[in-house]
Amino acid sequence: MARVPNSIYLHRSVVPKLMSVVSVRIPQIGEGLQEARLVAVLKQPGDWIKRDEPIYQMETDKAVMDVESPYEGTLIEWLGNPEDILPIGGEVARMEVADAAGIVEPQSHAPAPVEASAVIPPRTRSYAKEKGVSDEQLASIPASGSKLMPADIDAYLAGGAEAPKTALVTNDRYAETPMPQKQRLLASRLVRGSQAVVPGTMSVVVAWHGIENARNRFKAAGGDFQPSSFTIFAYAVALALKEFPAFRSTLVGDDTVRTYHAASLGIAVGLPGDELVIAVVEKADQLEWRAFAQQMREKIDLARSGKDQANESVTISLTNMQSFDLRDAVPVVVPPAVATLFLGATYNDLDPESEEPKVRRVANMALTFDHRIMNGVGAAQFMKAVRKNVESIGSLID
């Protein structure tokens, strides 16, 4: 019997497999759910991913959850960015997998997005949204290379084509338009908050003379460093966060508390058209005064350009209504944050510590907090610490 040379024997595992590209779609993760927010991506393009391994996080109106990969293979690209609200059944990523012939993709419950022949990177999709270009319009824009780039969108718009107008449903009684993306994002967070947060609210009057004196001192000194009264107030809050870890915490699931070593302080920033975004001062409780003021100014400027910086580590946010002459309000907690602190307009009030009638300048602070994380006494102690910092701020920023 003739002997067959060893060189022609190949183990089955070394035979090249046929590789194919498949879509990773957002699964149906709740009855009647139409869309969800992409919170974070846990893998990067080029990573090898095992089947059932968590690859991204989604937020529904009830919780943030890890979503597992339905395939084993290499991640090619993400088709969405964190903070995007995506339809159930829509593509969120693409993977290269072996033996794709036997794979049946999950049934989509939403219309599949129209794709251009060229690859559309996530940053191009994000840029298109900023310019008001829909997915359908995006699919028709010619690419200058193998990938559609932001420059291609600019060239298309510069060529006289307008961004598509949102279709309207109109009749003699009303008109219907899609909710703006930023408001949809905020709405999804608010719905989650109304279902998950157990709110408690308290308010306190704080003397404002310390803030006014500090502000006047900077104005008199001149120069480029001219922090606002609200920036000075925000620093007083940041310093108080050092002493109260509950306000640097959030709930993970129903029974786990995650406490951050440093505070990410959120600042609510209003935009034209009644839009609202969040600026974030990272490590706010660990910054020296001038570094804090500088970062807060930069982050607010970024927010005013339309960049929402909200992320999972923002546990408390500030909202300032002084320019609207509003003294009081009941702030709303937006998960995963556990507290929102409202600052009202300044006004004249009688000094309760003076034996003779004496007028002083004051402002009202109102705090809404998540009772699941802290109780009334802890929240009251935090408010007391903030008030103390505000009223003695001159000695804290020298």
**pLDDT at residue 348, rounded to an integer:** 93
- The span from the CA of 355 to the CA of 368, in Å, is 33
Enumerate the domain spans of the chain.
14-158, 183-396
Q: Which tokens is 375 given?
A: 């109780």
Side-chain-side CA neighbours of 316 within 13 Å: the count stands at 34
DSSP secondary structure of 102-157 = G--PPPPSSPPPP--SSB--HHHHHHHHHTT--HHHHHTSPPSSSB--HHHHHHHH
Domains 14-158 and 183-396 share a fold: no
Q: Flag the least confident range among 133-137, 363-367, 390-394.
A: 133-137
Fold assignment, 183-396: Chloramphenicol Acetyltransferase (3.30.559)
| pLDDT per residue as tens digits for the range 201-230 | 999 999 999 999 999 999 999 999 999 999
Helix and strand tally (H, E) in the chain? 9, 19
> Given a cut of 80, is residue 72 above it in pLDDT?
yes
Give the chain's mean pLDDT: 82
The closest of 338, 340, 356, 353 to 391, measured between CA atoms, is 353
Claim: this prediction has a pTM higher than 0.85: no
Burial of residue 147 (CB within 10 Å: 0-12, 13-18, 19+) is middle
CATH topology of domain 14-158: OB fold (Dihydrolipoamide Acetyltransferase, E2P) (2.40.50)
Q: How confident is the model at residue 99 (pLDDT cuts 50, 70, 90)?
A: low
SS3 content of the chain, % helix, strand, coil (to 5): 30, 30, 40
Query: pLDDT band at residue 95, thresholds of 50, 70 and 90?
Result: very high
Percent of the chain residues past pLDDT 90, beyond the cut: 46
- Residue 391, pLDDT above cutoff 50: yes
Choice among 102-116, 127-141, 283-297 with the minimum mean pLDDT: 102-116
Beta carbons within 8 Å of 266's beta carbon, 6+ residues apart:
278, 279, 280, 310, 314, 316, 317, 318, 337
